[in-house]
Structures are given as structure tokens and as C-alpha cells.
Amino acid sequence: MHLFMVLYLLGLLIGIGFYTLTYLFSKEMKEKKRSIFLFTVGIVIILVGLVIGGFEGMPLSLLGLGVITISIITLIMANKALWRKYIFVFIVLIIIVVFAFSYLNRPDYWIIQKENEFASSENEIYKYVELLQTENISGFKIMDTEDSKAVILSLGEERTGTSIEVTDMEELNGKTVIYVKSFYNKSTESNPTIIIGVDRLEPVVEIRDVDGTMYKKIQE
């Protein structure tokens, strides 16, 4: 699920939460005032996001947009308390279903150990891993396994002593993005390498390091 959608849905939940809080502080408050309060909160959140600016402020602005959406719904349904409850329950259920589907449909990944019972010079994956220790190759290569795929990432000899770990993987608009973290820990590999097993890949694959590095795909 796209990050923008996630943030907007969270904004809807936050809006419902703020609306509920208005009843805790003042049960006598008129519905229009509750809506105005929510709208004001949403505007403030958006303005804070704009002040921060750039990619860092964008999440706040999207959250504020969700809060404003709830304020508009409460204003439209100001005199229809029962329907308002139904709408809120429906929104919450939809958000739960969307998040549940997104979680269950996430691509799965695992780290393939370089030394295991299947490691053999006859296996193309391990043959390539052995080659990487003698060649100064930097980037990633995608190879097939029996029932999945393997993504082999190498950093090059200039990163000797570095290790790699995967922090997350997600699918974004027809693209698989793998997030990794490289760090120096006196690794003995001459060419730091990691083998990532994945159950599926989108047509476009990117590997991004937390330090901002974007690793290139090695062409056949």
C-alpha cells in the first residue's frame, strides 16, 4: 500500500480520535463547534507540515488532510447522530480491512546463509557468490531458485570489512524496494555480500541503503 494512502487513513483515525475526545471534555458542545475544532486541528497539522517542508513535512500534511475529512463528515452529519456513528464504524472497519490486507499481502523475504547444506559450486547462486570474492563487483543480481528468487547484493572491494543487513522490503507502484543497512564491523569478506531470498518481485527492483546509496542492478 502506498505511503500516502497509509498516512491519509491514519489521519482519518486521528480525526475520529479527536472527535471522541471532544465528548470527554465537553458533552454540551454543539456538533458544529466540534466540527470546527476538528477542522482547526487539521489545518494546524497541515501548516506545521508545510513549515517543516519537503519530504519530512509531507506526512504531517497528509495526516491533517485526514483530520479535515472527518471534520467535514461530522459537519454534514451534524444533526444525524445515529448515521454519524454508523459512518465512523464503517470508516474504522474499512481502515482495519485495508491495513490487514496490506499486512497479509506483504512480500516475504529471508536471508540465505552462504554456508548451508545446499551450498555447492554446482549451484549458480553460490558459484556467483564465490566469484564475487575474487572480482570487484558492486551492485545486485537477481537469480532464480527452485520456488522463489534470490537477490545477491555486493558492495565492492572498497567496502571490505563491511556487513549488510536488510531492514525492510515493500512494493510501491509496480516496484519492489529493498531497504538495507551497511555498517563496518571488520567483516572478513573481501567483497561484502548478502543473499536475500524473496517470494516474489515486481518488474522493477531497487535496493536502497539507509546512508542514501542506491545500488545498481548488474546486467547479464
Q: What percent of the chain has pLDDT over 90?
A: 36
pLDDT (tens digit, 9 = 90+) per residue, 16-43?
899 888 888 887 788 888 899 999 999 9
Residues of the chain by 3-state class (helix, strand, coil), percent to 5? 45, 25, 30
Helix runs in the chain, H state only: 3-25, 31-52, 54-76, 81-104, 124-132
The answer to whether 14 touches 95, Cβ cutoff 8 Å, is no
**pLDDT at residue 216 greater than cutoff 70:** yes
Look at 191 and 147; give whichever has higher pLDDT: 191
CA distance 154 to 139: 5
pLDDT (tens digit, 9 = 90+) per residue, 130-173?
999 999 999 999 998 878 899 999 999 999 999 999 999 988 87
**139, exposed or middle or buried, with CB in 10 Å at 0-12, 13-18, 19+?**
middle
CA distance 160 to 8: 43
pLDDT band at 182 (very low <50, low <70, confident <90, very high): very high
User: Taking the model in full, what pTM does it have?
Assistant: 0.58
